[in-house]
């Protein structure tokens, strides 16, 4: 078990309110005053989740987007946010604040408050509050026989990070995907009634698919050749699908649905103009397995990004 997993396990003994969902999900779900509120918090750290020379406005956008992506994975629409901010160089702070205002405005999210602190390293957090009008899918609802789907394209953000680190040639669309992810709020809200489980892809598709399978008490098979790759990714890296599947920061939706839901899912993809691709299936048993063109593949040494 990773250090992150061990720490979360130590919290479960007192995270007993039903809203916490046993700390097995990406957000808390609180029934309050006849409404369903979805509450999530993500933290990003300089040198871990963003580069020290990333523009402050892009860091602000990413902080907002990664939290709203968690709401999207629960089918919720945002209604407010709280900021936790580490003070530093004044010009950087001003540029971040300006970028934060633009990001919140883009998603019509009011800032409700928060806190500031001084520290040697920038640690930034946002608590996002959303409202769900229908079911709130957990990551643990998949069943054997369900199909595994993903939105958009996978691997772009990981390639964008490698470009910024000087490991790959130029590719502006890929850098944009790393610095400015787009939370799939409309898709998440519309998919919630069609799926049995849903979450966003933040730490790598393979790792997050394995997490969904574990939480659901079943096995998952990922068909690597079905993985959706963008034209920009293919132009730079070709058919490097293992790399795409184990890269993080995609912030696409990963979801399970019964086979009978496929026509409605594909119709929704057409309606909202976002590709929704079937990439595997859930089976009885446990664990993650991979195929390529129907042939079994060994799992890579690293499925995605883990803390510790």
Mean local confidence (pLDDT), 127-135: 96
Mean local confidence (pLDDT), 6-18: 90
Q: What is the DSSP string of the chain?
A: --HHHHHHHHHTTT--SGGGGGG-SSSEEEEETTEEEEEEEEEEEBTTTB-TTS-HHHHHHHHHHHHHHHHHTTT-EEEEEEEEEEE--HHHHHHHHHHHHHHHHHTT--EEEEEEEE-SS-EEEEEEEEEESS----TT---TTPEEEEES-SSHHHHHHHHHTTSS---HHHHHHHHS----HHHHHHHTTT-SEEEEESS-HHHHHHHHHHHHTSEEEEEGGG----HHHHHHH-S-HHHHHH-----EEEEEE-GGGHHHHHHHHHHHT--EEEEEEEESSSEEEEEETTEEEPPPS--S----
What pLDDT is attached to residue 8? 84
What pLDDT is attached to residue 305? 83
Number of Cβ within a 10 Å radius of residue 17: 10
Does domain 3-132 match CATH 3.30.1330.10?
yes
160-205, pLDDT tens digit by residue?
Answer: 999 999 999 998 999 999 999 999 999 999 999 999 999 999 999 9
What pLDDT is attached to residue 3? 78
Q: At what angle do helices 172-179 and 156-164 cross, to 10 degrees?
A: 100
Answer with the residue of higher pLDDT: 273 or 24: 273
- Beta-carbon contacts of residue 40 (< 8 Å; ≥ 6 apart): 26, 27, 28, 67, 70, 71, 74, 127, 128, 130
Residues 116-135 as b/e (b if ≥16 CB within 10 A, e otherwise) read eeeeeebbbbbbbbbebeeb
Mean local confidence (pLDDT), 147-152: 98
Tokens, residue 187: 């898709």
Instruction: Provide the CATH topology of domain 147-297.
Output: Phosphoribosyl-aminoimidazole Synthetase; Chain A, domain 2 (3.90.650)
218-249, pLDDT tens digit by residue?
Answer: 999 999 999 999 999 999 999 999 999 999 89
What pLDDT is attached to residue 165? 94
Report the C-alpha gap between 263 and 147 in whole angstroms: 12
78-91, pLDDT tens digit by residue?
Answer: 999 999 999 999 99
Decide if pLDDT at 217 tops 80: yes
What pLDDT is attached to residue 306? 75
Residues 264-280 as b/e (b if ≥16 CB within 10 A, e otherwise) read ebeebbeeeebebbbbb
Tokens, residue 42: 């993500």
259-294, pLDDT tens digit by residue?
Answer: 999 999 999 999 999 999 999 999 999 999 999 999
Rounded to 5°, the CA angle 147-149-152 comes to 165
Q: Model confidence at 308, in pLDDT bands (50, 70, 90)?
A: low
The ranges assigned to domains in the chain are 3-132, 147-297
Decide if pLDDT at 115 tops 80: yes
Q: What CA–CA distances, in Å, run from 195 to 39, 198, 260?
A: 20, 7, 11
Q: Model confidence at 47, in pLDDT bands (50, 70, 90)?
A: confident
What pLDDT is attached to residue 200? 97
Decide if pLDDT at 2 tops 80: no
* Average pLDDT in the chain: 95
Mean local confidence (pLDDT), 99-107: 98
Report the C-alpha gap between 208 and 201 in whole angstroms: 6
Report the C-alpha gap between 65 and 57 in whole angstroms: 12
Decide if pLDDT at 66 tops 80: yes
Strand 219-223 to 287-292 pairing: parallel
Report the C-alpha gap between 306 and 131 in whole angstroms: 29
Q: Which range among 3-7, 88-92, 121-125 shows the weakest confidence by mean pLDDT?
A: 3-7
What pLDDT is attached to residue 23? 87
What pLDDT is attached to residue 118? 94
- Beta-carbon contacts of residue 241 (< 8 Å; ≥ 6 apart): 155, 224, 225, 227, 229, 292
What pLDDT is attached to residue 33? 83
């Amino acid at each position: 078990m990773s250090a992150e997993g061990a720490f979360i396990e130590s919290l479960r003994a007192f995270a007993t309110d039903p809203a916490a969902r046993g700390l097995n999900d990406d957000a808390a779900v609180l029934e309050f005053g006849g409404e369903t509120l979805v509450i999530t918090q993500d933290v990003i750290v300089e040198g871990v989740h963003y580069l020290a020379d990333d523009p402050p406005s892009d860091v602000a956008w990413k902080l907002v987007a990664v939290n709203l992506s968690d709401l999207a994975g629960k089918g919720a629409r945002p209604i407010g946010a709280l900021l936790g901010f580490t003070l530093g160089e004044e010009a950087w702070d001003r540029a971040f604040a300006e970028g934060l205002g633009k990001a919140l405005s883009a998603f019509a999210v009011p800032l409700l408050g928060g806190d500031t602190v001084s520290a040697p390293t920038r640690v930034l957090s946002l608590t996002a509050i959303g409202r769900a009008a229908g079911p709130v899918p957990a990551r643990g609802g998949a069943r054997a026989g369900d199909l595994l789907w993903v939105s958009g394209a996978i691997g772009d953000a990981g390639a964008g990070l490698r470009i910024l680190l000087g490991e790959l040639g130029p590719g502006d669309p890929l850098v944009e995907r790393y610095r400015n992810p787009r939370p799939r709020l409309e898709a998440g809200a519309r998919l919630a009634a069609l799926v049995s489980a849903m979450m966003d892809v933040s730490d790598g598709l393979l790792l997050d698919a394995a997490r969904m399978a574990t939480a659901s008490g079943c096995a998952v098979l990922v068909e690597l050749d079905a993985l959706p790759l963008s034209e920009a990714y293919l132009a730079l890296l070709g058919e490097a699908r293992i790399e795409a599947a184990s890269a993080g920061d995609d912030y696409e939706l990963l979801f399970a649905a019964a086979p009978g839901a496929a026509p409605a899912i594909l119709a929704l993809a057409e309606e909202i103009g976002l590709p929704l691709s079937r990439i595997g299936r859930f089976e009885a048993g446990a664990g993650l397995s991979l195929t390529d063109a129907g042939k079994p593949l060994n799992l890579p040494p690293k499925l995605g990004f883990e803390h510790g």
